[in-house]
Amino acid sequence: MALIRFSQLSVAVVALSALAAHAAGEMPLTELSVGMYRIEAEAAINQEDRMRGLMQRKSMPQNHGMLFAFTESQRHCMWMKNTLLPLSVAFMDEQGRILNIEDMQPQTENNHCAAGPARFALEMNLGWFKQKGIAPGATINGVARLAGAAR
């Protein structure tokens, strides 16, 4: 019972901080991890932020990314129109398990799609997943708590 209340409280805190950050014109930050690696990610939890993504950014720090939290699991696709950075994207299921990883080149309109129903996508600098030895089947910890915040 206490775990359920804590879980509900966590979702409420994430949602409130997301609203405050969005009101200030920025996306909320969330901490994720995979294996021994820590990731600081901006959370795109609403349609406007998911549409904007990393467009027009000229750089992104190491171990920093953007997490897209979708309202439902489906075969989501990403593209790189107006995106200046080369990126790798990991599509994940509801629990944060990586389904597939795609490399994406700047300013292209090619579709890069999830291999199956995905609830999340995490964009990192090009090659980040490969450099860290992270492959499909690995779990990104911390994404599942954002499922309730997506809108």
Distances (CA, A) of 38 to 22, 63, 86, 138: 24, 7, 21, 14
Q: Domain range spanning residue 8?
A: 2-149
C-alpha dihedral, 63 to 68 to 72 to 75, nearest 10° = -80
pLDDT given for residue 6 in this prediction: 44
| CATH number, residue 57 | 2.60.120.1140
| pTM of structure | 0.80
Distances (CA, A) of 5 to 1, 16, 117: 6, 16, 28
pLDDT given for residue 1 in this prediction: 53
> Quick check: 38 and 66 in contact, CB under 8 A?
no
Strands 37-44 and 64-74: parallel
pLDDT given for residue 72 in this prediction: 94
Q: Count of domains in the chain?
A: 1
pLDDT given for residue 146 in this prediction: 81
pLDDT given for residue 50 in this prediction: 80
Q: Which two tokens stand for residue 145?
A: 């708590």
Residue with tokens 């597939």: 100
pLDDT given for residue 25 in this prediction: 54
Tell me the pLDDT of the chain (151 aa) as tens digits: 554 444 444 444 444 444 443 333 588 999 999 999 999 999 998 888 787 777 778 889 999 999 999 999 999 999 898 999 999 999 999 999 999 999 999 999 999 999 999 999 999 999 999 999 999 999 999 998 887 777 7
Q: How far apart are CA 126 and CA 104, in angstroms?
A: 7
